[in-house]
A and B are shown apart, each in its own frame.
Chain A
Amino acid sequence: MAESSADLTAPHPSGVAAGGAAAGASRPPGRPRFARPRADRREIAAIFAGGAIGTLLRAALAEAFPHPATAWPWPTFAVNIVAAFLLGYFVTRLQERLPLSAYRRPLLGTGLCGGLSTFSTMQVEILKMISAGEWGLAAGYTAASIAAGYAAIHLATALVRRVRVRR
């Protein structure tokens, strides 16, 4: 893969990269040098919309299946693994398959998958397990989340790339 992993955290390559270069050329004198290139409003709107849907799904699942602190947090585990799979699928497809689109990545990746998955809730769940003395559960939940999340990304990426080989 030629593309640097660092680009994954970058805003979507098409619009913003070009916009950044343009902004750099015509930067107003008062603007600090480290200011990031302006994200355009439609990109922000796409992230907002995707994030709203992802969050609604995650919150609905969390409310529907409450669990005690010492039980396996299925709602969080499920959304995280599903979001990881979807992100691997979307990002690989958008970067390596489809023509550049300024709004699909923000909508589906940054918005939907980012809103659907959560890191903070997982950390607090682990903390509560540790506080309750459930070290085995904490270790198991942590290891399973990372193993399954990583595997989900790997699998989704491989699935997208396999399609190209067959063509």
Chain B
Amino acid sequence: MSALVWAGVVLIGGAGSVARFLVDGLVSSAAGRDFPFGTLAVNISGAVILGVLTGLALSSNGALLAGTAAVGSYTTFSTWMLESQRMAEERQYRKVIANVAVSLVLGVAAAWLGRLIGTSL
């Protein structure tokens, strides 16, 4: 594992985080902020892409850069949990359950679909 690859991880990780911020902002301003659609959109789209990458069976460096660094930093677990916890504080329990359940069901389905696409490419 060369230093160049790790430099790539750092740069791509930064870029993936910026991409998450921008997509989240775009989706949130379009769909409204009553429900965390921005995070949902980021996480589901990321799950599809990582599924595709998984199906492609990349080299270890390729998987590290494209999967772990790019898509891994683009998606977020912590914000998903924070938004769920804050909605629970406001007693919006249906939204909490919807946020957790929809993210999980769509997330696994998205990863499955992506892998299907990746293996057939």
* Chain A interfacial positions (CB closer than 8 Å to B): 1, 4-11, 34, 36, 39, 44, 47-56, 58-59, 62-63, 80, 83-84, 86-88, 91, 106, 109-111, 113-124, 126-128, 130, 142, 145-146, 149-150, 152-154, 157
Contact = CB atoms under 8 A, between A and B. Distances in A.
20 contacts: A6-B34, A9-B33, A9-B38, A9-B83, A39-B25, A47-B18, A51-B15, A54-B17, A55-B68, A59-B6, A59-B68, A59-B69, A83-B78, A111-B17, A113-B76, A118-B73, A119-B46, A127-B112, A146-B104, A149-B81
Closest 7 CB pairs between A and B?
A55-B13, A51-B17, A6-B33, A52-B14, A48-B14, A5-B86, A119-B75
Contact of B110 (A88, A123, A153): A123
A2 B38 CA distance: 22
Contact of A127 (B38, B51, B86): B51
Q: Chain A's interface: helix, strand, loop or mixed, by majority?
A: helix
Contacts, number: 221
Contact of B75 (A8, A36, A118): A118
Contacts of A109: 79
Interface string B22-48: 101110111011111011000100110
Contact of A120 (B43, B78, B86, B89): B43
